[in-house]
Every structure is written in structure tokens, then in C-alpha cells.
Amino acid sequence: MRFSIEKTNLQSALKVASLAVTKDSGVITSSILFEMDTDGSLVLWATDRRIMVKVPASPVEGTTHGSGSFTVEAGRLSQWVKSVFEDTVDVEVEGATVTMECGKATGHFASLDSAQFPDFSDRLEGPEVLFEMHPKKLTEALKFVSPFIGDATTNNATANNFQVTELRGYDMIATDSRSLATFKVGAPEGEDNPLDFYAEGEGGFKITKDELGKLVKFIEQTCALSARVSKSGLYVVESDDGSLFGYPQTNLTLPKIGGIPQDLSEPEIWQVNKDRLQNAVNALSATADPDDVVLTVRAEGPEGGEGILTLSMKDALERHESVVEIPFTRTKTTGEKVAFRVNRVYLTNPVSLFDGESVTLAVSAGPEAKVKYVKFFGQTEDGDTRTCLVTLRMDL
């Protein structure tokens, strides 16, 4: 079997396929499977036995001779292709030897038995399309909730359910039980929402944090106009060039979450400069014990006008209270002073996820509140709504 392929084409395909290979040399899952059909079409496959990636590639027209399959270790091949200089790579396969030439460079690679490579064909049959949307919107939703996906535990089955983000209706949701993030997928005024069909159905799209990072890279590298998400034996994301990213379905399910308004209906609505808030907390943490995370927040000021946000923490010896005051705008208020305590890390982590110099904070901290929290809130021109809710440690 022989064929030629443009080096840039091969490099792009290898970069995507390498998302699913393992690092241990000498096993089939550290290799990429090349399949050449009788019609001259070429496909690259890769898997770590959990994630599966399929990438079509285009041989130079008129250069294909024969059909079949072979494997090459992903790391070695990627390094070789990156290091050679000419524009075209000529490939020839004889038995278990793969020879590649690029200009004056010749490389020989060992091919493992292609029959050992896992076969995903039966798990890709009869897919049920869940939704299709612009790839930028899908990656924005995944990236926004990713920091709030919980970590695995060994002795708590309930907590293990926090290891996934789940698309419920129009909302991508993630929580680690301390903070809650939602990305409500919207649409510009007058346009259909890409999730209308999905929201009317049974839903079911889920993904864990480890798989999410690789999926985002796959979408960014392969999807230009659309990303189609289906469910068969796997969850499968298909790009507009025919590339596939598959990963197993999971039994993990986030708990039902209710009672938290997604609009701005809280009794206190504030506008706070992001840099000033972050710097104030950084200054206080510099004086505190490294293990101390309790931040006290006090707010006072008129509705619609500038107020003072006083942030404080005990010093390292807990003898004095370090204080930083920053201005803020109290766009809605109960008219009372507001005070609460919150984990400083949870309060500042979401700041960078929101656009603009200032961030909107909705506060539910009064004695009548059934759930006490601070909610970060933002809306985009594309109609998406981003919220991050931070539960309060205790009220004062």
C-alpha cells in the first residue's frame, strides 16, 4: 500500500487523533490506526479504551495504491512529521514496516497488528441526534462550568455524582456542592435557540471533567461551523469535516437543583469592579493564616448610588482584623446594611469567567432568606446567561 499526503494535513490529523492515545509505549492504544479504503479515502483512529477519536485525512489525489490498515506509535510519528522540512510525505507499507519519506528524510516505523485495535463500529451505529449548535457556543458553555465540576471520592457515592456537568434543557450545569455554575444557552433576538429540540426531549448529555478538556480541544481543532452531539453506544460529537469524538455514557447524575432564581430577583444587586475585588481579597489573604479562608463582607450605601464594600479577615495570629474598603454601586437594595461571611476562594474564583471591568453580584443574605448565597451574573449579546452561585459560610 502506498500513498502521499500533505504534511500540514497529516500534522492536523495527528494532533486531533493524539487526544485519545495513551502514553505507554509499545501497546496498541499508544498507536494511531490508519485505514485506507478501496475508494482512496483515509481515516485515522485513536483510543485510550475510553475516549475514541476518528479523523478523516485527504491523500494527494492520484497517489493511492492499494488499501488496508496499519498502525504507527503516535508520539514517534508526531515528532518525526514535526521535524521534517518538505511539504509532502510519501507513505509505503510492507508487512509490519511503515516507511515514510519527506524530501531527503526517511523514517521507518513498526506497525502493530491492526486487528488488535479496538473496534468501535457497533457502538457508533444508530445514533440519536441530541442537538447541534455553533462550536464556539458549545465550548463557551463547557469552559464556563468546567471549574465547578466536583472531584472523585472513594467513599461517598452521592459526592461522586458531582463529577459530571449535565445539560438540562437550555442549562449546562455543574456543581461541587459548594458552588454552582449554570450556562443558559440562548439566542439573539429573533433567532431560534439551537437547543429547542433538545429541551423538548429527554435530554441526557453529560460529560466528566477529564473528558471535557479533551472534547473542548477536539471541537476547537475540527469544528468550524457546527458541532453535532449524538448518543448511541457512546456520546459522539461530530464536526463539520466528519471527525468524531466519542466517550462512554455515565450513570452519574447531578442532584435536582431548584429554588435558585436565574434572573436578578434577589433583594441586593451590586456592581463591583473585578480588579478591585480580586486585589482586595489578595491583600487580605497576605496578612491571614494560609489556611484561613473566612472573609467578612459588609456593604452599605444608597440604592442607585456609590457605596462602600468593606472586606476583612483576621491576621495570622488572629489578634487584629485586616480591612480593605472598595467602592461599589448598589443598584438594588433592601435599605439595610448587609453583612455575611464567605470562603474567599469561592468568592474570587468565578471573577475571571465574566466579561467586562465590573461584575454583577446578586446577594441573598438576609435573615428571611431560605438559601443564603452570592450569585455572579452575566449576559452576552448572543443571548446566553452565565451564573455562578457561591453558598455563604454563615450570616452575621
Query: How, if at all, do strands 164-168 and 206-208 pair?
Result: antiparallel
How far apart are alpha carbons 40 and 60 in whole angstroms? 10
3-state secondary structure of 388: strand
Contact 173, 254 (CB under 8 A): yes
Give buried/exposed letters for 327-361 (b at 16+ CB in 10 A, else e): ebbbbebeeeebebbbbbebbbbbbebbeeebbbb
Side-chain half-sphere exposure of 300, counting CA atoms within 13 A: 5
How far apart are alpha carbons 330 and 384 in whole angstroms? 24
Read off the amino acid at residue 343.
Answer: N
How far apart are alpha carbons 88 and 99 in whole angstroms? 14
How far apart are alpha carbons 254 and 150 in whole angstroms? 10
The domains spanning 2-116 and 268-395 adopt the same CATH topology? yes
The whole-number pLDDT of residue 395 equals 39
Q: What is the CA radius of gyration of the chain?
A: 26
The whole-number pLDDT of residue 76 equals 96
Q: Which of 3.10.150.10, 3.40.50.800, 3.40.50.150, 3.40.50.970 is the CATH number of 268-395?
A: 3.10.150.10
3-state helix, strand, coil in the chain (%, to 5): 25, 40, 35
In this prediction the pTM is 0.93
Give buried/exposed letters for 300-309 (b at 16+ CB in 10 A, else e): ebeeeeebeb
Fold adopted by 132-248: DNA Polymerase III; Chain A, domain 2 (3.10.150)
CATH 3.10.150.10 fits 2-116, yes or no: yes
Query: What is the CB neighbour count within 10 angstroms for residue 35?
Result: 16
pLDDT in tens, the chain (396 residues): 999 999 999 999 999 999 999 988 889 999 999 999 999 999 999 999 999 999 999 999 999 999 999 999 999 999 999 999 999 999 999 999 999 999 999 999 999 999 999 998 888 888 899 999 999 999 999 999 999 999 876 567 777 889 999 999 999 999 988 899 999 999 988 899 999 999 998 888 999 988 999 999 999 999 999 999 999 989 999 999 999 999 999 888 888 877 667 789 999 999 999 999 999 999 999 999 988 999 999 999 999 999 999 999 998 887 899 999 999 999 999 888 899 999 999 999 999 999 999 999 999 988 888 888 999 999 988 899 999 999 885 433
Q: Which of 282, 305, 271, 278 is nearest to 377 (CA)?
A: 271
From residue 256, alpha-carbon distances to 175, 260, 389 in Å are: 11, 11, 15
The whole-number pLDDT of residue 393 equals 55
Domain regions of the chain by residue span: 2-116, 132-248, 268-395
CA angle 57/62/63 to nearest 5° reads: 70
Return the residue matching grid coordinates 469592579. Answer: 273
Which three cell numbers, joined as nine digits, stand for 301?
450605601
> Burial level of 392, CB count in 10 A (0-12/13-18/19+)?
buried
